[in-house]
Amino acid sequence: FSPEGKSIVKEGFKGEVRVLDLGRDQNALFIEGHAERVTVAFSPCGKQVTSASDNGMVRWWNTESGTIDFALKGHTHFVWSAMYLPDRKQLVSGSRDRTVRFWEPLTGHSSAVLLGHSSAVSCVEFSPDGQRIASSSND
């Protein structure tokens, strides 16, 4: 759901991303930019949608124009999960490459990489106050 609850973002198995306007029950935005299944998330302000896919790329899309604000490369395998920090200052992603990466929205660069999993990172999540992060894996 978008922060104001008026739309949802939906991923597809063929790489498409759809932002659906719940009030009008129609696509507000249709994005094609990945070749395979994607994972998606709204930014806390609702002005961007993040999509991540099999090629290790994390993309930030402008929800008004449908253009890419940033294309972030750092993971070397499928990105399974992406989540914004509650204070809106960072995005974190987890990948099949066994890493968790922090991304800076103003620069589009990875600011930190967490190592420690011996298997793919399947999910990342922040605590409500943004002080802690949990990552899950099959290890």
What residue type is assigned to position 5 of the chain?
G
pLDDT in tens, 83-96: 888 776 788 999 99
Position 117 scores a pLDDT of 96
Position 98 scores a pLDDT of 97
Position 101 scores a pLDDT of 95
Residue 69, both tokens:
């604000």
Are 41 and 34 in contact by the 8 Å Cβ rule? The answer is no
Domain extent listing, the chain: 7-137
Query: Smallest Cα–Cα separation from 58: which of 90, 29, 88?
Result: 90
Q: Look at domain 7-137 and name its CATH class.
A: mainly beta
Contacts of 39 (CB under 8 A, 6+ apart): 11, 51, 52, 53, 79, 80, 81, 82
Report the C-alpha gap between 84 and 102 in whole angstroms.
10
pLDDT in tens, 1-51: 888 888 888 887 777 788 888 888 767 777 777 767 778 888 888 888 888
pLDDT in tens, 38-59: 788 888 888 888 888 878 888 8
Report the C-alpha gap between 93 and 133 in whole angstroms.
11
Rounded average pLDDT over 55-77: 86
Are 84 and 43 in contact by the 8 Å Cβ rule? The answer is yes
In the DSSP assignment, the letter for residue 76 is S
In the DSSP assignment, the letter for residue 35 is S
Instruction: Please tell me which residue, 84 or 101, carries the higher pLDDT value.
Output: 101
* Whether pTM exceeds 0.85: no
Kindly indicate the confidence band of residue 100, based on its pLDDT and cuts at 50, 70 and 90: very high
Q: CB burial class (10 A; 0-12, 13-18, 19+) of residue 56? A: buried
Report the C-alpha gap between 127 and 20 in whole angstroms.
27
